[in-house]
Structure 1
Amino acid sequence: MENINERTNLGSPFGGQGAGAGAGADFLVIGSGIAGLTYALKIAQHFPDRKVTIITKAAADETNTKYAQGGIAVVNDLENDSFQKHIDDTLIAGDGLCDPAIVELVVKEGPARVQEIIDWGAQFDKDAEGSYKLGREGGHSEDRILHHKDVTGREMERALLTAVENTPNITIIKHCFVVDIITQHHLGFLVTKSTPDISCYGVYVLNMETNRIEKVLSQVTLLATGGNGQVYRTTTNPFIATGDGVAMVYRAKGRIENMEFIQFHPTALYEAGRRGQAFLITEAVRGDGGILRNSKGEAFMERYDERRDLAPRDIVARAIDNEMKIGGTEHVWLDCRHMNQQQFREHFPNIYEKCLSLGIDVAMQMIPVAPAAHYSCGGIKTDAWGRSSIANLYACGECASTGLHGANRLASNSLLEAMVFAHRCYLDAARRFDTPGSLPEIPDWNATGVAEPKEMILITQSLKELQQVMSDYVGIVRNTVRLERAMKRIDLLFEETEELYRNTTVSPHLLELRNLITVGYLITKGASFRRESRGLHYNTDFPERSELLQNIVL
């Protein structure tokens, strides 16, 4: 059998000749969403003579950013809004676990970061007088959501990619899967959680065009790998959202926190029998007046919260889940029939066309919706500058746990957080790595003794089992028995998959399964440790909030 690290005449996208070439970058970015692109642009413009490399496992624009519909929350109308109101709304949504200092800096630094992306070409909707149209979503006390119709993330991604294409010292490497971050572990040293000086030297990458694993070395690495929604049976996330960054950092003995707080978006479009990525019906539809109704046609949200349909997402998702169980249905309804239909089509053209393609005329029929896994509030633990617990390794965007979201993310705060922390990561990296440094000699990837996998069913069936277990036992509502069952099944899946990983050549499907199992374990373990109900974590055995405020760090 051919060793996948054997030198070859095939060219490497990283500038070397195959796996043993030891390609390098001055600044390495993993992920091409809003967090990774913003950081890359800033660091490349600051150091025009240094090489910035972005690695993405799919197309450059296939990210969670692309699917962000609603918009970006930012205070830009100080006559009717204030920083303090946005801060208070964020703290209330976070249910006691936000870091107040982080919330304040994100809210106050946000307007400057939004202006930057506007300067890079992002266009947000304006009214006839030329003022920005501001929407409102659940948990917000004022209208402060900037948006581009119902495809805000796609518009921001477009502007950033255009700017990147015009920056000569940035290279985007597509269709390459990062296997692991390189630390002292790969130099033969024993690395544990208590090792004080774990350092990142770059990454091992599976080149999907050559099926060879290459090493890419860098003095500084940023992980902007997005979310992990694919650990559940139904999610608003694209198929690439497999928790890769979180899993890699955990394997490298870095600190992960608050993974139990998985936000389920209340209103994903329900399509019978569909698995994987569900179409998102943005919260802005309810902000414009959409009403949730149960199988009897009753507007039910007033029974759960005085804010009714604009309550925070954790409350709305649990309310829908309860109504579905009471009615024995797989979905509820979102009623938009009373809304101004011309305005609906102007604000939500993508949603209108999607519904129409399924035979749903929103002017005449209600939209079937159900909760779907949407956003991870926990992740790689970082400080105020985006630094992880591993030296020379930053994390930004949904894969990071910055302290902003606490136990529940306030709607449309995610894009804001990504831009603010991308900027802060850039400032810190530019200050600390202003001159190139040296790196130790890193060994090539060793694949001796492995064989081609004989049956893909071993991977695909394990993924289905994991998604089923997570959806049934570690979903919107949890209890001790469900969590115990989930952990037993995840342990078994872990053992089977690790054996497969040790004995067969790696593939993107196997790597994603391995990462998702790690993410499932972290979510379940965090949920087991949190013996209370808070924010997005609701345990029927512990329905009350604990007086002890704590982050679950794993």
Structure 2
Amino acid sequence: MTRAVDVVVIGAGAAGLSAALGLAATRQVLVLSAGDGSTPWAQGGVSVAFGDDDPLDHAHDTHVAGAGFCDPRNVRALVEEGPQRVAELIAHGALFDRREDGSLSRTLEGGHSHPRIVHAGGDATGAEVDRALRAAVRAAGVETMAGRVIGLTKSTSGRVSGVLVETGGETVRIDARAVVLATGGIGNAYLASTNPSAVRGDGIALALLAGASLVDMEFVQFHPTALFTGQTRGQLPLVTEAVRGEGAVLRDLRGRLIMAGRHPRADLAPRDIVAREIEAAMRRDGTDHVWLDARSIEPDVLRRRFPTVLASCASIGVDMLSEQIPVAPAEHFLCGGVQVDRDGATGVPGLYAVGEVAASGVHGANRLASNSLLEGLVFGRRVATALTLDLPATTDRSYDVVLTEDREPERIRAILTKYAGIRRDGAGLNAAADELSALGNGPLATVARSVIVAATAREESRGCHWRSDHPHTDDRWNEHVAIGLDEEGLPTTRDAATQRARTGPR
């Protein structure tokens, strides 16, 4: 079966739906989804500076959290266009929490200098954003299809010209003038993650196979406070750092404050710093979790602001109103991804990427809290604008680029978890490369190798990339590490980018 549309969007999270919604009036769009993305699970909110909060202050906080590795132009677009995108979302029916006077309720999260996190349902912001966007997309008449994309088609000129989809027990070929990857991050390339199972990096592998480059794959963010349930694999419940924004503190198992004296913002330091301090405390004490103490927060505030966290805690027998919450870091967000320009275009004609799968540069070496939903809203619309203004004609199809199945997915996840977690070193990364060498070229193996190659190349510590054998930031590594496929189809550093990194910026 074959059909044709103007634009295929792969992924139905905030970024993909925003792109589809922006295109709906001018292009025939088809949204493909293989299951829930990360958007419905986002708890904290959307960071947006307006009123007495200057977007330039938001930009400053983003750059600080990103360890000076953010793209200044794209960060400016993020913070300046953000209020308009949130206002449009409200116009589409999103119901954000408000104060008694009718103004939007805003809270504080780690790394922010101002309470600028708007939220919905207390701690169910992602679910509300998802609901509002899906309703708007339906109202705009955008077609959606359930199915897993297993490949791309390319023309003789090298342009991406469509997708191959497994749906309803058959393979469907869809021709398109442009394909937008909005597939999310790589969460389930690790044993345990805050992401749902459908988020495993297929979009990363598809982009590489099509000839695109990756950047910043070493910057994998671990959320400091996933709920410690005793499980060591699968999706773990998140305990939003907005709980710390309301006054909760982290303690080790002896009751000592973990962040005291570690950072000027203490428990509200950027995520990479908090995650490292928790990991160090766990390693020092030989424990598998620490405590998040929210008992100083008024019970009515906890009930109103954090119903999702309350329910998650109750499911493991913990009453967060009167008991400390067991937490530990877990894989959460990919700060890098497919290399794109500010309009989401990759180096492959006809192929675009947006959201967590894309390296827009707004997160640098470590994402600032609650900038992810904002990124999806802002850059989803930027991709839509680009494809509204310029969408070349369809070209003839010549060959397919198809994903292969992974041989031992669980072993791949175990390798990446063991050697490319919060704490890394050269010996472990080399061991990971050796162990992955016999595991084929499936999408999960490709993602794992990409992280390992980038983490091995960057011989310094920066943001959420922490090398215990190179514990300091080194200005010689101010360039990005770029990844492509070699002649054998294996991820490797792009020579020019690696050379620039080793010799320093020019």
TM-score (norm 2): 0.92
Residue aligning to 2:488: none
Cα offsets for 1:445-469 (capped at 9, x unmatched): 999xx9xx9xxxx95xx22211211
Q: 2-side partners of 1:136 and 1:120: how far apart?
A: 25
CA contact (8 A) 1:181 1:249 kept: no
Kindly provide the CA deviation profile for residues 147-180 of structure 1, in whole angstroms up to 9, marking residues without a partner as x.
0110101100000111112122x11001x11112
1:366 alignment partner, one of 312, 315, 324: 324
1:233-261 deviation per Cα after TM superposition (whole angstroms, max 9, x unaligned): 11000000111111101111211100000
2:272 matched residue in structure 1? 314
In 2: Cα distance, 1:357 partner to 1:535 partner? 33
Q: Which amino acid aligns with 1:521?
A: R
Letter in 2 for 1:279: P
Q: Deviations over 1:286-321 (max 9, x none)?
A: 111111000101112114222110000000000000
- Which SS does the other structure have where 1:345 is aligned? helix
Q: Distance in 2 between matches of 1:63 and 1:441?
A: 30
Number of residues of Structure 1 aligned to a counterpart in Structure 2: 481
Aligned to 2:239: 281
Give me the CA root mean square deviation: 1.7
Q: What's the offset of the Cα at 1:444?
A: 7.8
Match of 1:516 among 436, 444, 449: 444
- Displacement, 1:224? 0.4
Match of 2:161 in 1: 201
Contact 1:214 1:444 in 2 (8 A): no
1:392-403 equivalences in 2 (<5 Å): 392-403=350-361
Q: CA deviation at 1:216?
A: 1.0
Which of 468, 472, 494 is the equivalent residue of 2:418?
472
- Greater fraction of residues in strand: 2
Residue in 2 that maps onto 1:182: 153
Q: 1:141 aligns with which of 89, 99, 113?
A: 113
Task: Quote how far apart the aligned CAs of 1:424 are.
Answer: 0.9
Report if aligned partners of 2:154, 2:401 keep a CA contact under 8 Å in 1. no
Aligned to 2:220: 262
**What's the counterpart of residue 532 of structure 1?**
460
Give the one of 72, 83, 88 matched to 1:116.
Answer: 88
TM-score (norm 1): 0.84
Letter of the structure 2 residue corresponding to residue 488 of structure 1: D
Q: 1:28 aligns with which of 8, 11, 21?
A: 8
Superposition map of 1:65-214 within 5 A = 65-77=39-51, 79=52, 81-148=53-120, 149-168=122-141, 170-174=142-146, 176-184=147-155, 198-207=158-167, 209-210=168-169, 212-214=170-172
SS in 2 for 1:385: coil
Spell out, residue by residue over 1:188-236, the C-alpha distance to the aligned partner (whole angstroms, 9 max, x if none): xxxxxxxxx63210111122x22x3221110011110011111111100
Return the letter of the residue paired with 1:540.
Answer: S
Cα distance change on mapping 1:445 and 1:343 into 2, 3 Å: closer
Counterpart of 1:323 in structure 2 is 281
Question: Which 5+ residue runs of structure 2 have no aligned equivalent?
Answer: 484-506
Matched residue type, 1:396: V
Amino acid at match of 2:39: T
Q: CA deviation at 1:471?
A: 1.2
CA distance in 2, matches of 1:517, 1:247: 9
Is the contact made by 1:183 and 1:199 (CA closer than 8 Å) also made in structure 2? yes
| Superposition deviation, residue 414 in structure 1 | 0.8
Aligned mates of 1:431, 1:446 — CA distance in 2: 30
Show the counterpart of 2:207: 249
Answering whether residue 458 of structure 2 is matched by residue 486 of structure 1, we say: no
Q: Structure 1 CA distance, aligned partners of 2:401 and 2:60?
A: 49
Asked if 1 retains the 8 angstrom alpha-carbon contact of 2:153 and 2:399, the reply is no
Does the Cα contact within 8 Å between 1:533 and 1:543 map onto a contact in 2?
A: yes
Q: Corresponding residue for 1:352?
A: 310
Q: Which amino acid aligns with 1:339?
A: I
Distance 1:364 1:479 in 2: 40
Aligned amino acid, residue 54 of structure 1: V
Partner Cα distance (1:438, 1:278) in 2: 43
Structure 1: distance between partners of 2:262 and 2:418:
23
Distance 1:254 1:183 in 2: 13
Structure 1 residue 442: deviation in Å?
4.5
- SS for the counterpart of 1:302 is coil
User: Contact 2:74 / 2:342 at 8 angstroms: preserved in 1?
Assistant: yes
Paired position in structure 1 for 2:470: 542
Partner secondary structure for residue 221 of structure 1: strand
Q: Distance in 1 between matches of 2:465 and 2:60?
A: 21
The share of aligned pairs that are identical, in percent, is: 39
- 1:257/1:378 contact within 8 Å kept: yes
| In 2: Cα distance, 1:322 partner to 1:551 partner | 27
Distance 1:409 1:202 in 2: 32
Question: Whole-Å Cα distance in 1 between the matches of residues 394 and 62 of structure 2?
Answer: 42
SS of 2:437's equivalent?
Answer: helix
Q: 2:409 is matched with which residue?
A: 463
The superposition leaves residues 355-397 of structure 1 with CA deviations (integer Å, 9 ceiling, x where unpaired) of: 1222111122100000000000000111111111111111100
Question: Partners in 2 of 1:160 and 1:292 — Cα distance?
Answer: 35
Please give the residue correspondences for 1:369-380 in structure 2 after superposition, counting only pairs within 5 Å: 369-380=327-338
Unaligned runs of 5+ in 1: 1-20, 188-196, 499-513
Alpha-carbon distance, 1:439 to partner: 2.2
1:394 and 1:525 map into 2 onto residues whose CA distance is 24
Equivalent residue, structure 2, for 1:51: 28
1:419/1:445 CA distance change after superposition, 3 Å: closer
Output aligned runs, 1:3-18, within 5 Å.
none
